[in-house]
Amino acid sequence: MAKPQNGPQSPSAKAPDAAEGYKIGDPGAFARNMVQVGIQSQQLLADFMRRQATKAGSGEPMDPLNITGAFTELLRGMVADPGAIMEAQFQLWRDYMGLWERTARRMMGSEVEPVVSPASNDKRFRDKDWQENQIFDFIKQSYLLTANWMQATVAKADEKLDPKTKKRIEFYTKQFADAIAPTNFVLTNPEVLRTTLQSNGENLVKGLNNLLEDLDRGGGQLSIRQSADTFKIGENIATAPGKVVFRNDLIELLQFDPATEQVYKAPLLIFPPWINKFYILDLRPENSFIRWATAQGYTVFVASWVNPDKKLAKKTFEDYMREGIFAGLDAVTAATGEKKVNCIGYCIGGTLLSATLAYMAANNDDRVNSATFFAAQADFSEAGDLQVFVDDEQLEALKQQMDEAGGVLEGGKMATTFNMLRANDLIWSFVVQNYLLGKEPAPFDLLYWNSDTTRMPEATHLFYLREFYKNNCLSQGKLMLGDQKLDLSKVKVPIYLQSAKDDHIAPFRSIYKSTKLFGGPVRFIISGSGHIAGVINPPAAKKYQYWTNDAFGSLPDGKMAKPYPAKVEDWQSGAKETPGSWWPDWDAWLSKLSGPKVPARKPGDGKLKVLGDAPGTYVKVKAR
């Protein structure tokens, strides 16, 4: 209901207008569609029960996330302090009384301030009826009161628990609060309810068809389609011109065509994460980092990781170093004749690069000229919400799942984990749009890439989770590769550390810790946005910003300022904000380390033969 403009109104003054959108268009068509919805729902329920029975008999763990263990610890904490629970319940009752009182006053025509409002970045309550309609405004505020109360109560109750258990409980409590939001249900979402009544339920029929298709595509597991399937790799996405010049079991090495007549002497070799595919760096021409880097005069190589199957289940983290980074370095040298190579590591590709640099330093291997890290961690003591998925029970459950799958982690399971970090944006918004409103997702290159999942070899993935996320061995000098103990302080090459302000996967606080780990000159920056948009931000877009602080570390001209302070807050207090992309800052840093200009190199000019066109064959292998 709209607010009165000229004094109090009768409660029903606006009722006819407000109710207009909530009328059934054709009762007969509505009834027929509801029968169809009922039939489809029975099919879904039967399929679900069948899958649960199969799962129960397969030996696969019923609680792979160990949620039961976390909330058992919470219950013990609550039982130990019943007074705090009683006080919390009384506070919730008092808040509800305040909401009832204000709602009653609003229904009598008075203007009142809300008891609680959504966060400014909460996109769930954008429909006008969440504000204008008294009933839906009450539902919204009731939910927000309950969700906030639930999370605050849990936070108080788990204060005596160890930090990791505390974090897991708070994470799963938020997941539950997000799942029960009124926006996720037909009768309590005004937009969905209006659409259902006006379309005679056609949206629910279409939505259930979308749901069935997603279940079928996921082989019985829900695989939410986040983007329209209008992209084709090598045709309208991943189109930077280049060639495949090397291939082994783990990588195809792509060398991209030069965009300038002269290039820097030192080539550039990029190691993306193998958790996803390399073309995040080459989505479309206008946001392609690869195209931009070649335009700056770099000879760009990219490792396109294989999408591993059961045959590669035994590949280890050390194999990824030897057959990935070492093989890539050897191939770049063969292709260009250069023994010094600038490297970039993105996310887990950067973690591998960090460990490899320590291994190389211990063995006097100086082939890497400089290293840039995109959203990559070496110290995992503050590694964000992904830590909630790593404890002994969950790792054992994960091992069982991979054993059942033949020694690989299916890509969909990894994608679900990452989507849970931003559940409202990457799960529930699509539940509403695709299944409740019955809409087709819009074409979105980044979300198409996000859904193009890859598998994980069991040996590599378990090593990564145990030794980095759980035990944080690399930062403590305890990690072993081969027979070599790794020490990052022996790495003396120039380092560029990019982090992002809103990164939930590799938080900037975590990346900042690397400023104290490496033994050579380090430049650290914070960009705007998150794990993807914080990295993929071309200058022409004129979006976001980045922060630098030239009082510390390595400057763009290669000179050294003061050592980095212990806390990132002290670095931030004197940081300078610059609008737009951070890429030019990185280019100013790297160009000074890349030697003189030489005639541009084309794929096939060196000792490596061309094996095929970019983007190659490995990138086109689907997880299913």
d(CA 25, CA 5): 32
Active site residue 473: no
- Are the C-beta atoms of 380 and 469 separated by less than 8 Å? yes
Q: Please report whether residue 468 resides in a domain.
A: yes
Residues 250, 118, single domain; the answer is: no
Place of tokens 């990138």: 619
d(CA 378, CA 475): 6
Residues 588, 530, single domain; the answer is: yes
Q: How many CB atoms lie within 10 A of CB 560?
A: 12
pLDDT digits (tens, 9 = 90+) for 190-246: 999 999 999 999 999 999 999 988 888 877 778 899 999 899 999 999 999 999 999
Q: Please report whether residue 230 resides in a domain.
A: no
Q: Please report whether residue 223 resides in a domain.
A: no
Token readout for 417 is 């984990």
The DSSP 8-state label assigned to residue 506 in this structure reads S
Residues 203, 275, single domain; the answer is: no
Residues 193, 274, single domain; the answer is: no
Residues 190, 249, single domain; the answer is: no
Q: Please report whether residue 227 resides in a domain.
A: no
d(CA 85, CA 90): 9
Q: What is the pLDDT of residue 184?
A: 95
- Are the C-beta atoms of 414 and 275 separated by less than 8 Å? yes
Residues 299, 209, single domain; the answer is: no
Can you give the CATH number for the domain in which 309 is found?
3.40.50.1820
Question: How many domains, in total, are found in the chain?
Answer: 2
Q: Please report whether residue 229 resides in a domain.
A: no
Residues 563, 415, single domain; the answer is: yes
- Mean pLDDT per 10-residue segment, the chain (624 residues): 39 49 84 84 75 62 68 68 75 88 88 92 94 93 93 78 82 91 95 94 92 83 88 96 98 98 98 96 97 98 96 96 98 98 98 98 97 97 88 89 90 85 91 95 93 94 96 96 94 97 96 96 96 96 96 78 93 97 97 97 96 97 82
Helices (H) and strands (E) in the chain, counts: 22, 17
Domain boundary among 217, 250, 283: 217
Q: Which domain holds residue 332?
A: 242-620
pLDDT digits (tens, 9 = 90+) for 117-173: 999 889 999 999 999 999 999 999 999 999 999 888 888 776 677 788 888 888 888
Q: Where are the beta strands (DSSP E) in 329-433?
A: 341-346, 368-374, 408-409
Q: What is the pLDDT of residue 19?
A: 66
Determine which one of 65, 347, 398, 409 is catalytic.
347
Residues 273, 173, single domain; the answer is: no
Q: What is the pLDDT of residue 356?
A: 98
Q: Please report whether residue 224 resides in a domain.
A: no
d(CA 16, CA 25): 16
Residue 352's nearest CA partner among 312, 317, 305, 313 is 317
Residues 213, 282, single domain; the answer is: no
Q: Please report whether residue 237 resides in a domain.
A: no
Sheet with 251-256, strands from edge to edge, namely 576-579, 545-548, 522-527, 495-500, 368-374, 341-346, 268-271, 300-305, 251-256, 242-247, 612-613
One-letter amino acid at 200 equals N
Q: What is the pLDDT of residue 550?
A: 93
End-to-end CA distance of the chain: 49
Residue 346's Cβ-count burial label (10 Å; 0-12, 13-18, 19+) is buried
Q: How many CB atoms lie within 10 A of CB 383?
A: 20
Residue 589's nearest CA partner among 350, 367, 373 is 373
Distances (CA, A) of 612 to 151, 276, 357, 474, 604: 54, 22, 30, 37, 11
- Are the C-beta atoms of 178 and 124 separated by less than 8 Å? no
One-letter amino acid at 471 equals N
Residues 190, 265, single domain; the answer is: no
Q: Please report whether residue 58 resides in a domain.
A: yes
Residues 432, 576, single domain; the answer is: yes
Domain boundary among 217, 252, 269: 217
d(CA 550, CA 525): 10
Q: What is the pLDDT of residue 586?
A: 97
Residues 267, 136, single domain; the answer is: no
Give just the sign of the alpha carbon dihedral 359, 361, 364, 367.
Answer: positive
